[in-house]
Amino acid sequence: MKFLNVDCGLLHGNLRISSIFTTPSGEWKLGGYETLCSLKDDHPIFCLYSSRVAGLGKYFAPETIKGRTRDYPPSATDGYAFGCLIYELFNGAFSKPDELGNRGLIPTNLIEPFHALLNPNVSRRMDFSLFLEVTTRPGGYFNNDMIWITSFLEEINIKEAHEKEQFLK
């Protein structure tokens, strides 16, 4: 999502559980690109057709409901939907936005970033760059050996010899 929103300036617009797939090896992959667009386009597909995508409305950020999606960066809209996704991953489906205020089973070290993703004030809503920074710091939800090892192995071909040696030890 950081790559799409921040690096490419694109809005995914359909971020929800049904857009996530897993490979046989357990990797998560993102799908649901039906509403992918640039908000700089004359007629962004998200703004034209998102209301026709079944079940997508409950993931809409407050500014999207007011028809102001184009006034903000893509990470504002997708970040809010990502907050909804986090809620559903830990608590199951929700039916209305009011339910998102209850943390339920979301881990303690993910609560602050979760609330920042759902901030109704768009200018204070966390984007994916900051989300990754916060959650990969010491004590962050994604700062663990499993993720570190997996990331290292994905990049092993570009690592220096001494880094590979240290890893193998």
Nearest by Cα to 98 from 120, 76, 121, 73: 120
pLDDT (mean) for 128-146: 92
pLDDT (mean) for 23-47: 89
Q: Is the dihedral of CA 63, 92, 15, 35 positive or negative?
A: negative
Confidence of residue 30 (pLDDT cuts 50, 70, 90): very high
**What per-residue confidence (pLDDT) applies to 3?**
93
Range of the domain at 119: 2-136
- Summarize pLDDT for 65-121 with one digit per residue, the tens: 888 888 888 999 999 999 999 999 999 999 888 899 888 999 999 999 999 999 999
Lowest-confidence pick of 40-49, 108-117, 129-138, 155-164 = 40-49
- Do residues 78 and 8 both lie within one domain? yes
Nearest by Cα to 110 from 92, 126, 99, 121: 126
Find the CATH number of the domain harbouring 28.
1.10.510.10
Q: How many residues are listed for the chain in this entry? A: 169
Lowest-confidence pick of 53-62, 117-126, 160-169 = 53-62
Instruction: Provide the 3-class DSSP secondary structure of residue 139.
Output: coil
**What per-residue confidence (pLDDT) applies to 139?**
92
- Summarize pLDDT for 46-72 with one digit per residue, the tens: 888 777 777 888 898 888 888 888 888
pTM of the model: 0.86
38 is written with which tokens? 């640039």
158 is written with which tokens? 């570009």
* Residue percentage of the chain with pLDDT more than 70: 100
- Do residues 104 and 169 both lie within one domain? no
- Do residues 74 and 121 both lie within one domain? yes
- Do residues 95 and 168 both lie within one domain? no
- Do residues 50 and 107 both lie within one domain? yes
